[in-house]
Structure 1
Amino acid sequence: MNELHTRGLALLRAGREHEAATCLREAISLGPDDARARYHLAIAHRLRGELTEARNELLAALELEPTLAPACAQLGGLALVAGELQEAMSWLSRALAIHPGHRISRYQLGVALRFAGHRTEAISLLQASLEPGPGALPPVLAHRVRGQLVDALNDPLPGARPLAQCAAPLVTELLEEREPPREEAPHPESSREREMRVMTPLEAARLLAGARSILALTGSGISVGSGLATRKELWQRWDRDAAVSVFKFREAPNVLWEVIADFLGEGRHRPDAAHLALAACPDLIGIVTQNVDGLHQEAHREVHGESVPMPPVIELHGTLLETRCQACDARPGRTAGSYVETAAPRPPRCERCDGPLRPDVVLFGERVAPERMGQALDLVRRCDALLVVGTAMDVAPASELPRIARANGVPVVELKRTASRLSRSLDTVLVPGESDTVLPELLENLRQMR
């Protein structure tokens, strides 16, 4: 591996895909027969939503090295994201013919088979991807596979169905984890749906009375009281995942900006009672949020002022408070809302290269920055109680964090109108209700017990 290839791979692992792609292209110009450099360049293209370029580099890599199983697996993954199950199964089968123990291919083929209606074969492959031995899956991915496996085992309608984009496996081969998974793979006979434990805010406070390191994992439901639409509400008006996918943005970038305008609506949004209660929680070690609205930080300022340091807020999916250019990665220093509020054309254009600007958020088809995921994992490993507030828990990798907490023996309390899909396979507690009502009550009860 030449120096440029090595540097490009390091940039890719660090989540700096734009710089990685530039570096890897230079490496290929010096060594056009380097199949691995082309494979890694394809990963960079894939993470930037450049599917045609990714596919072309993968095919070129296979021409140079026909036994490169990861390239076949990535072609299968691209087909999965596009909903092309038959093509996906063909490429993934080829990857496993080359390398029968390739766990990523087993996992992805299991997902494809599940959505194609081949439930028994899917379960077998998902279980095989979790077998102990060399090349074990990274812990977060292993937890996600377990979730897919439990869903397959408990699926009341196991026939073929359309593949949701958020169900397609993510690019995880390059993520470096530090600990092995602690959980055993679920067995068919022990993977029945669990009986949900429902508690009042007072009962949940008693359960958490001994906690001294509370972590919150939040989703769009916590911002309902601030007047922001939930993901479910947006998808009643838009084409679900496709409207906010990186692939759609490359085809029609104006659509994403229309969704943002719909999400933000009119007027300024302030933290609601749930944000403020969480900000006042004395034992809070941090917040991991799927939200992009910046309201947790604003709540801290309202409760504590500017002088009190804030516990870390890990914005897994980025923020609307920053924008960047899709083409050159320039950052104009403006919020997405500032473009929506003006009569600027959609999409707004980059002053440096005239490329389309976008909010600095993670779109479907992109990955969560490794640094953010690492910070979230550190918090999960440190906490002794996890509050899951206002989220359906159906998008990875956030959906795997409660599984990791439970594997460490940490109680998981959901605050939501109805239980999320987590409750089907994980021992959780539900406090039903609107988060801006039940969360302040729970935390007030907890404060009085101190």
Structure 2
Amino acid sequence: MKMNVGLTLRAAKGCWRLNLSQQCAHGSIGLFVPPSPPVDPEKVKELQRFVSLSKRLLVMTGAGVSTESGIPDYRSEKVGLYARTDRRPIQHRDFVQRAPVRQRYWARNFVGWPRFSSHQPNPAHWALSSWERLGKLYWLVTQNVDALHTKAGSQRLTELHGCMHRVLCLACGEQTPRGVLQERFEALNPTWRAEAHGLAPDGDVFLTEEQVQSFRVPSCARCGGPLKPDVVFFGDTVSPDKVDFVHRRVKEADSLLVVGSSLQVYSGYRFILTAREKKLPIAILNIGPTRSDHLACLKLDSRCGELLPLIDPQ
């Protein structure tokens, strides 16, 4: 599938404006969702029974729950970032050790942020939020960094890999909202402009090296240290405290439902292993195979936003 998404950022009368191609603005909802068979009524009944029997249901979500909101993932066949481009996500060590890498990252993120931050929850996010309100969902663990579960109202939530809507100082640990940093970027780069093509799962866009060389990156307002999104980059690890916390939630649960994740990354897969050790029933809703299909008592290949609203959590 060929994707042609154009973004242009420019200053006009003191205001920054992001122009998106019509294709991106109106056609991205299904652009990143891989094809799937029609919903099987019998499978719906099986998932309904799985949920109905659960009293302390733990749900773990991945990028596949957000593709219907217009956010691409990495691994989906034909439509994921790996399938569409030869681009690869930034590595933690490169970001921490090299100032030019941070400059390139923040320039691209600055251009992509207005689009990324505007994404809204889809029916899957709203369904899981309602399950929590009704007392069915015991805990929600997401591998996503897009804040869409929070926007949908989920509160019993662990963001395993952090959230792009927060920024962290690598020196002093000061945490600030990402929107505040956007304003500092604008103040430091009043005449900088760039045109980018393509969107990545973490709000990144694609720019040339020439475009980013003049981009100025602010330091921490408190100590002058380098700034980083409050997320776990590839090559980094989830904090032991957070891992232990999620392990406890899994051990307290009586069943586990995976939604929109291939479970290829060990940071999420490890909790499936814990569920197996506790002999918890495992169900998986994901388009395409996952690393844990052989451990699941139920596997469904459907759109998350199409299937989850069909389930009655009461």
Per the normalisation by structure 1, the TM-score is 0.48
Select which of 226, 242, 257 maps to 2:106: 257
Query: CA offset at residue 406 of structure 1?
Result: 2.0
2-side partners of 1:287 and 1:438: how far apart? 18
On the 8 A contact 2:56/2:138 being kept in 1, the answer is yes
* Alignment partner of 1:436 out of 281, 300, 305: 305
Instruction: Sort the Cα spacing of 1:255 and 1:221 in 2 relative to 1 into closer, same or farther, 3 A.
Output: farther
Hey, what does 2:239 align to over in structure 1? 369
The separation in 2 between residues aligned to 1:367 and 1:378, in whole angstroms, is 18
Cα 1:413–1:369 shift into 2, 3 Å: same
Q: Which has the higher helix share?
A: 1
Q: Which residue of 1 aligns with 2:195?
A: none
Aligned partners of 1:380 and 1:405 also within 8 Å:
yes
Q: Which amino acid aligns with 1:292?
A: V
Structure 1 CA distance for aligned equivalents of residues 180 and 63 of structure 2: 17
Which residue matches 1:151?
none
In 2, Cα distance between equivalents of 1:339 and 1:238: 28
2:128 to 266, 278, 286: 278
Identify unmatched segments of 5+ residues in structure 1: 1-197, 302-309
After the TM superposition, which residues 213-292 of structure 1 pair with which residues of structure 2 at under 5 Å, given as runs? 213-232=56-75, 233-235=80-82, 236-237=84-85, 239-241=87-89, 243-251=90-98, 252-257=101-106, 260=109, 264=113, 266=115, 268-281=118-131, 282=134, 283-292=136-145
Q: Which amino acid aligns with 1:245?
A: H
Q: Are the aligned partners of 2:219 and 2:225 in contact in 1 as well (CA < 8 Å)?
A: yes
Say whether the 8 Å CA contact 2:185–2:216 is kept in structure 1.
no
Q: What amino acid does structure 2 have at the position aligned with 1:250?
A: Q
- Equivalent pairs counted in the alignment come to 236
Equivalent in 390, 393, 404 of residue 263 of structure 2:
393
Q: 1:93-242 residue pairs with structure 2 within 5 A? A: 200-232=43-75, 233-235=80-82, 236-237=84-85, 239-241=87-89
Once residues 233 and 272 of structure 2 are traced to their aligned partners in structure 1, the CA distance between those partners, rounded to angstroms, is 22
3-state DSSP of counterpart to 2:167? strand
Alignment of 1:279-428 (within 5 A): 279-281=129-131, 282=134, 283-300=136-153, 310=155, 312-331=156-175, 333-335=176-178, 339=182, 343=186, 345=215, 347-423=217-293, 425-428=294-297
How many Å apart are 1:264 and its aligned residue? 4.7
User: Normalising by the residue count of structure 2, what TM-score does the alignment of the two structures yield?
Assistant: 0.67
- Identity of matched residues, %: 28
Give, as a single letter, the amino acid of the residue that structure 2 aligns with 1:277.
A
1:419–1:430 Cα contact (<8 Å) kept: no
Q: 2:300 & 2:118 partners in 1: Cα distance?
A: 29
One-letter code aligned to 1:316: L
Determine the C-alpha separation between the residues in 1 that align with 2:160 and 2:183: 23
Distance in structure 2 (CA, Å) of the matches to 1:234 and 1:337: 28
Question: For residue 71 of structure 1, what is the aligned residue in structure 2?
Answer: none
Are the structure 2 counterparts of residues 274 and 412 from structure 1 closer, same or farther at C-alpha, using a change threshold of 3 Å? same
Q: Distance in 2 between matches of 1:264 and 1:432?
A: 31
Q: Distance in 2 between matches of 1:396 and 1:341?
A: 36
> Is the Cα contact below 8 Å between 1:199 and 1:431 reproduced in 2?
no
> Per-residue displacement from partner, 1:330-352 (whole Å, max 9, x unpaired)?
33x22168528953546432223
Tell me if the contact between 2:185 and 2:217 (Cα under 8 Å) persists in the aligned partners: no
- 8 Å CA contact 1:389–1:415 kept in 2: the answer is yes
Tell me which amino acid in the other structure corresponds to 1:397. S
Query: What's the counterpart of residue 203 of structure 2?
Result: none
CA 1:218–1:409: 2 relative to 1, 3 Å: same
Q: Please tell me the residue identity of whatever aligns with 2:51.
A: L
Question: C-alpha distance in 1, partners of 2:81/2:107?
Answer: 11
Give 1:238 deviation, angstroms. 5.9
Q: Which residue of structure 1 aligns with residue 5 of structure 2?
A: none
Match of 1:305 in 2: none
SS in 1 for 2:250: helix
- CA RMSD of the aligned region, Å? 2.7
Partner SS, residue 354 of structure 1: coil
Structure 1 residues 389, 336: CA separation in 2 closer, same or farther (over 3 Å shift)? Answer: farther
**Deviation string for 1:122-143 (max 9, x for gaps)?**
xxxxxxxxxxxxxxxxxxxxxx
Over alpha carbons, which structure has the higher Rg? 1
- Relative contact order (alpha carbons < 8 A, sep ≥ 6): 1 or 2 greater? 2
1:205 CA displacement: 1.3
User: Which structure shows the bigger proportion of residues in strand conformation?
Assistant: 2
The 2-side partners of 1:393 and 1:412 are apart by: 13
C-alpha deviations, 1:129-180, integer Å up to 9, x for none? xxxxxxxxxxxxxxxxxxxxxxxxxxxxxxxxxxxxxxxxxxxxxxxxxxxx
C-alpha distance in 2 between matches for 1:353 and 1:367: 25
- Supply the AA of the counterpart residue of 1:272: N
